[in-house]
Structure 1
């Protein structure tokens, strides 16, 4: 047997659909549950070679017969046509996760039109901030599709695709960044030609790679979407210089014809808690977008898209437990549509338990929390309250982290539990410790 296997082409759609069916809303969640890199999971789901043991383990979790769907890959160790002696790190690019590209989408006006109209402007920059599973990637996918229809080139890059080794120094990181974008645009890796090791700096080399190669290849605007950039926040070796570079490019877009072609979208799930010079930060320029929860009307409309014509009372009953959290609401509707013998009351009765609909989602969050003592103590303080609207003071960094996970909402400088589902579940788990 070869060292690696890949999914047969005719089984790719099947394994992709199995991800959500097994309780994983995103590729990232599956990767975290398996303890694998996002790149490995992405390779598997897109029919690229992965290690045999990893292939078998992913199949086990997704309920697939690995022998049935596996295609032997005899050339897995051969070099990629785009490989370079200067950069040998694995680079894998995906479009926004196909799981998040479902046809069911609820608009939150005027956000969609604001994003689209802003990105039509030369040299524009958009910052999208929202906790995990609030719909950032789906919004990006919808906007990208609309821009592609206007003849834009597009690149979607999720920073969870980078390996830890890619963050060890700025030069290595920027090479990964440039090669990733080249691959997404189906362009040859030309680091060797544009990277001057002896007389230039990493930031200048990266800028030249964009200006002389990536942007110069085509007169069409290029919209570059950088998702989950919070992964970079605590990487001291690269964070300040990288974000300063993005700011510099945005400033160049005001005066340079070629840089006007670049449109930046920066998406992150938490406040920017790293110190950045005010004139070197991309987080205080451009247009800021924050994704709110669904309103009652939007939740009812989402139900109608699932062929569920609910009364306001039924919608409120669901929202009393999960609020207007897009993922939790959508999961409830999808479950009730398929399982017509289950009532809303039955679903909500077990919602915050290990046998309920949200058990996989809740356990994933718990695994993160229980491994970090300070975070556990902070959450304990929040869920000890009797209602979700009781405000609690926390250390800012702990509050940011809980907010990025979607567990709390901000109210001024204090936080409160995001919804009753989280308050009930985590209160019970913490009391049982």
Structure 2
């Protein structure tokens, strides 16, 4: 049976389109609309049911980027969001677990790749690994590699992306934890028993702990890797993060115990993914999760890695060609991959690619357009970045704005100052933000 999955960029388009529609994830209107796409002759609302292959679980899998059982449902959900499904799907070379185009990166501190270190940590009972870097540095791909490794070991895996939480979920801590419990139950193919385990007098963290300990973890007899992606979104909600951080820290400490409770919590292995925006509101080291586990930081590609990747794309490029490309975009994984993918598909040489790179007709137009859209939503941020791209020297800007721009991947930190992370941004935004 054909299955389809959204790519990382596709998930961004899905999220934006869903927000524009203004419907909550749990709203059954999505399901009725998708059912109508599949069979318009039936009045699904009147029948109070959905088309074959359409369900809330399937819709969540569509949003999460996990495989949808039926391709028809995937296409139907895309049509409901007014998206071209062919621009959303993940192609074979976009899957980091299977792709020959995936480049491993060495650890700065250890003579091993980040992937090897992550695999080792995943095999440790009760482990906690943090993947930290600005946007589009390959954090989610590294998480996916870890989850793929875990599946190969016969482990259970759960991936929770906080981008899928509606604002209503973040407005109440109890609802936030119940949302997590519900999604983890679904991923483990376990029945929702939140009402059975949730007792008002216990408090939110105790209730969530009981649900995981006495129900979820007690119903699996193999390790479970729990991946939490885009955790920055709860860093921005200090009350939720402080409570949730204490909860995760408690679970981590429980796994250090030698009694039977400790054995239950040893089944879980955390991998959390976040950018550096955490520093905008708090210091991770002084948070409830400070000092917990191991931190992995994906870095830019080096020239040799980009040259190797170009060869994988069967481009007839030499080191000089690659160096010209990197003079413009640096080693940013997302930009490198987009450049090589476009060059291979459109049969472009380096000079042709670079000629229009910083324009609206260039291969980076979607990437640059998204950043421009986000910057224009925040005039203060746009002004700070304009100051940065117009200066040949690193500039000193407000620290919160600096870390926001760093989180977006637009700047590099130089002591207390910032500088554009690549010349592409300097060329494009110095003209566009100045209009």
Q: Which category describes the TM-score, using the shorter chain as reference length? A: 0.7 to 0.9
Within the alignment, does 1:299 sit opposite 2:302 as a pair?
no
1:33 CA drift (Å): 5.9
Cα distance change of structure 1 residues 328 and 51 upon mapping to structure 2, 3 Å threshold: farther
* Whole-Å separation in 2 of the counterparts to 1:293 and 1:42: 38
- Tell me if structure 2 keeps the 8 A contact 1:38–1:160: no
* Whole-Å separation in 1 of the counterparts to 2:40 and 2:316: 42
Within the alignment, does 1:331 sit opposite 2:334 as a pair?
no
Cα distance change of structure 1 residues 429 and 277 upon mapping to structure 2, 3 Å threshold: closer
Within the alignment, does 1:369 sit opposite 2:363 as a pair?
no
- 2:135 paired residue number: 132
* Whole-Å separation in 1 of the counterparts to 2:420 and 2:331: 13
| Alignment match of 1:28 (pick from 9, 12, 33) | 12
- 1:3 paired residue number: none
| Alignment match of 2:116 (pick from 92, 113, 116) | 113
1:249 CA drift (Å): 1.0
* Whole-Å separation in 2 of the counterparts to 1:339 and 1:260: 50
- Tell me if structure 2 keeps the 8 A contact 1:91–1:162: no
* Whole-Å separation in 1 of the counterparts to 2:22 and 2:332: 24
The TM-score, its normalising length taken from structure 1, stands at: 0.81
Task: Count the aligned residue pairs.
Answer: 389
1:37 CA drift (Å): 7.7
Cα distance change of structure 1 residues 395 and 127 upon mapping to structure 2, 3 Å threshold: same
* Whole-Å separation in 2 of the counterparts to 1:41 and 1:338: 36
- 2:359 paired residue number: 353
Residue aligned with 2:15, SS: helix
1:299 CA drift (Å): 0.6
Gaps of 5+ in 1: 1-8, 57-65, 80-87
Cα distance change of structure 1 residues 183 and 408 upon mapping to structure 2, 3 Å threshold: same
* Whole-Å separation in 2 of the counterparts to 1:41 and 1:353: 36
1:71 CA drift (Å): 10
| Alignment match of 2:226 (pick from 213, 224, 227) | 224
1:327 CA drift (Å): 1.0
Within the alignment, does 1:74 sit opposite 2:44 as a pair?
yes
Cα offsets for 1:212-238 (capped at 9, x unmatched): 111111121111000001111222441
Cα distance change of structure 1 residues 419 and 115 upon mapping to structure 2, 3 Å threshold: same
Residue aligned with 2:266, SS: helix
| Alignment match of 2:423 (pick from 417, 420, 423) | 420
Which structure features the higher share of helix residues? 2
Cα offsets for 1:316-343 (capped at 9, x unmatched): 0110111111111111111111112x32
Gaps of 5+ in 2: 51-55, 68-88, 107-112
Residue aligned with 2:158, SS: strand
Within the alignment, does 1:202 sit opposite 2:204 as a pair?
yes
Cα distance change of structure 1 residues 402 and 411 upon mapping to structure 2, 3 Å threshold: same
1:92 CA drift (Å): 2.3
Q: Which moved more, 1:129-138 or 1:221-230?
A: 129-138
Cα offsets for 1:57-96 (capped at 9, x unmatched): xxxxxxxxx96898978269559xxxxxxxx999824356
- Tell me if structure 2 keeps the 8 A contact 1:157–1:226: yes
Residue aligned with 2:137, SS: coil
1:29 CA drift (Å): 3.8
Tell me the C-alpha RMSD between the 2 structures.
Answer: 3.2
Cα distance change of structure 1 residues 118 and 419 upon mapping to structure 2, 3 Å threshold: same
